Structure 1
């Protein structure tokens, strides 16, 4: 056995090791889904794949618990594919290289997929057990949670029999989640006008890397650098003085991950090269000072590139720089009701350049619909001023807290009885699928729990081993305490 599969609880970690071995980034979950379904059939469990690709597995109650309420344990199959620039890894083909480092499990140069692989592993371990007491049980594994919540959107009424749903996608031991933020994607499109380049000019790229990035919801309040916004600031402060002529701006890779890297390509008069190098050096020092605690490893690398055939027109370039520099990003407002929780935020996630336009993909999150609407209005106003377009899509609702939730009370009381302390009842600034499940199952009682996961959605992602054991013990104990049907 490997070190990973020897950890407590072994059934969970053995499943997680299998999950790491089978590539499953968003939009490419089929191999892992088929592996799980084949295993379930071999175990003679009732398994079905719905119309959108969600997997539902049912297991009969253990003897003596047939009269309990039906519970569904829910996790998502997909993981966020992020890697360090120097890491050679194909998320569609290569396994995740997980390893033990003290009391943490990490991955070599990539996201680990503990979000939500640990939750999925716990559900499958319970399905495979012969000695865990539970009533009638369902497991729901949704697809594409990280890239659009396609599975949760597509879940139909009548597919589940459960009255209680336990979501496993939370990321802090000792916290029980009873609500989450909703969100919407914002795609900004700025038309580009190009002109012939000055062939006598010098050509460079400026690459920013070394940022921590992370989850654009749960990490957005930490003040980490956004690579897209940082390079936009550099251009706003220096483009005119250096007579830069932009040819490309790219940055980030996912709307729901704080951008860790970005790149700009440009030309400038040869006589300004020395000044450019001085400006880059000074700007890097400034950013390192400003982000000394949040992002101490920021790096700027200036490189010569081949001479391009075209550059952005002066008006297009100025509009792009102004638009990116003024575009809101980060925390818009903290919650008055839940101390320490972000109420509304915006992540300028991905910038891409093509022949016709520059695209800017953002993700707005908010605990309240009016907060989301306010930021949508800000982007509408901004794009109107810039002569750009913005389209909003993929809106998903938040999960409204229910202080009278019976399953919340069960989880809280169970936690107190095991650990002799009170858990923290929380609302999370992230898009749990529970809000979407409320549409086909409005009466379902829901709660979310999980182990401690640090830096999800980035290559520094890690899961705490001790808290995985604590989460497992809590989950198993809660299943035994589910009440009888009314």
Structure 2
């Protein structure tokens, strides 16, 4: 197994290999911050943290480039922590185990962190180099992008001087992104009431496993299924057949911005209905495989009898939870009328979790248009108001509207043309880049986002294409060389 540092560009891959050895899931970035700050100190670069915890590093222009406009290179320090069910991994303590798999780099059983570790590593490679020509550089490493965009929300005006920004958090080589979706969180909480189980009741654990999962924005239109939605579909089908499954415990997914891969429910039912229940599961499994089998090739739906617990949810409450979650829209809501082939509005039922007192559903709504996001949130509020659930909307962040006369767009297009003999595609991404939030503190910033090809981010299948990293690196250096004068 070759090490990543054997790949080219060597400096980038060496930094990424070190990143993989440092635990850095969202909200646990301190070790990564310490390492990045240490590198800056080692290379005698001005560096500091702002009030919210973002790391800023400044590097003067190389000889002959002092007259160029200042550029901000930006990446986020955190990664999405997702592991396969059979992988024991503590993301706050254990290193990521990357390896070369043919033309790709991936990780053993977990997310890789190429999102946004490759971008961050490329910035560090530039900051620590002595032979890359560039004008004045400010590097902005934000915190907690994946779990709340805390760093972008907290960025204050006046901290940075540059007017041009390169965001490195895109995931398709050959595309330059000039706009992105905004988003917001919908939180649904069902207060729980319990009842004693009856002597004539049996219990089973119903599980949905083996789904591909993925990024709830970039992968929302790929035909992948949502484990939470499949689970409640099965429960709803039982209700429709008069079986009356009653929830004891339910859980699914772990992050609202990742399509859930697994979900499970412990439920009780009348023992006399056992054969009927198994028939419903079998019939629904066949239908689900027929619908999703070409995409979800490892889909597994299983049920096994377990010890009957002493209590279950109130029957009426259980029915409400199943019916409302089954009715909850999921996936693509609409396609853009102005940008062909781009999702305009979507939502992801990312997490179902249970405490002693509540069952909680966490939903992420994304949209290129704020009014469309607000309408979806209003629809969700209308749906769940029909139950006894408590509904709130939090964490809204704006989209990034493309600018027609962007200097950065022109420089990236020109550089790509010079390198590869064709123009890159100018795109709008259905994901929450931090650029929209930056505009609040720095409305004058002219921004572009590009990166290497990363497949299946936010899932343990995440992988980055080695050749695309090389092309991304060449483009980044060419863009720095072509930045116009002040």
The question of a shared fold, defined as TM-score above 0.5 by the shorter chain, is answered with yes
Q: Distance in 2 between matches of 1:388 and 1:371?
A: 23
Aligned to 1:274: 275
Contact 1:186 1:361 in 2 (8 A): yes
Q: Distance in 2 between matches of 1:275 and 1:459?
A: 36
Q: Distance in 1 between matches of 2:191 and 2:43?
A: 56
**For this pair of structures, how many residues does the alignment match?**
485
Q: Distance in 1 between matches of 2:57 and 2:327?
A: 48
Q: Distance in 1 between matches of 2:400 and 2:376?
A: 19
Q: Please give the per-residue CA displacement for 1:141-163, whole angstroms capped at 9, x wherever unaligned.
A: 00000000000001111111111
Unaligned runs of 5+ in 1: none
Contact 1:203 1:265 in 2 (8 A): yes
Residue 292 of structure 1: how far off its partner (Å): 1.6
Superposed, 1:128-277 pairs within 5 Å as 128-239=128-239, 241-277=242-278
Q: Distance in 2 between matches of 1:154 and 1:2?
A: 40
SS at match of 2:165: strand
Contact 1:209 1:260 in 2 (8 A): yes
Unaligned runs of 5+ in 2: none
1:62 aligns with 2:62: yes
Q: Please give the per-residue CA displacement for 1:272-306, whole angstroms capped at 9, x wherever unaligned.
A: 33333333233222211110222121101222333
Aligned to 1:78: 78
Aligned to 2:22: 22
Aligned to 2:400: 399
Residue 227 of structure 1: how far off its partner (Å): 0.7
Aligned to 2:117: 117
Q: Distance in 2 between matches of 1:35 and 1:199?
A: 59
Q: Distance in 2 between matches of 1:213 and 1:2?
A: 28
Aligned to 1:427: 428
Q: Distance in 2 between matches of 1:306 and 1:34?
A: 49
Residue 2 of structure 1: how far off its partner (Å): 4.5
Aligned to 1:476: 477
Aligned to 2:447: 446
Q: Please give the per-residue CA displacement for 1:394-416, whole angstroms capped at 9, x wherever unaligned.
A: 11000010021011100001101
Q: Please give the per-residue CA displacement for 1:49-96, whole angstroms capped at 9, x wherever unaligned.
A: 111111001111101111111111000000000011011111111111
Contact 2:246 2:319 in 1 (8 A): no
Superposed, 1:364-375 pairs within 5 Å as 364-375=365-376
Label 1:427 to 1:46 Cα distance change in 2 as closer, same or farther (>3 A).
Answer: same
SS at match of 2:265: strand
SS at match of 1:221: coil
Residue 336 of structure 1: how far off its partner (Å): 1.1
SS at match of 1:268: strand
SS at match of 1:162: coil
Residue 307 of structure 1: how far off its partner (Å): 2.4
Q: Distance in 2 between matches of 1:136 and 1:385?
A: 57
Q: State the TM-score, normalizing by the size of structure 1.
A: 0.98
Q: Distance in 1 between matches of 2:404 and 2:195?
A: 60
Q: Distance in 2 between matches of 1:298 and 1:192?
A: 31
SS at match of 2:366: strand
SS at match of 1:222: coil
Contact 2:2 2:99 in 1 (8 A): no
Aligned to 1:384: 385
SS at match of 1:386: coil
SS at match of 1:479: helix
Aligned to 1:341: 342
Aligned to 1:327: 328
Contact 1:288 1:297 in 2 (8 A): no
Q: Distance in 2 between matches of 1:383 and 1:201?
A: 29
Q: Distance in 2 between matches of 1:354 and 1:121?
A: 39
SS at match of 2:185: strand
Q: Distance in 2 between matches of 1:206 and 1:269?
A: 16
SS at match of 1:484: coil
Contact 1:199 1:307 in 2 (8 A): no
Residue 203 of structure 1: how far off its partner (Å): 1.6
Residue 242 of structure 1: how far off its partner (Å): 2.7
Residue 258 of structure 1: how far off its partner (Å): 0.6
Q: Distance in 2 between matches of 1:148 and 1:263?
A: 26
Contact 1:205 1:263 in 2 (8 A): yes
Residue 223 of structure 1: how far off its partner (Å): 1.8
Q: Distance in 2 between matches of 1:199 and 1:419?
A: 72
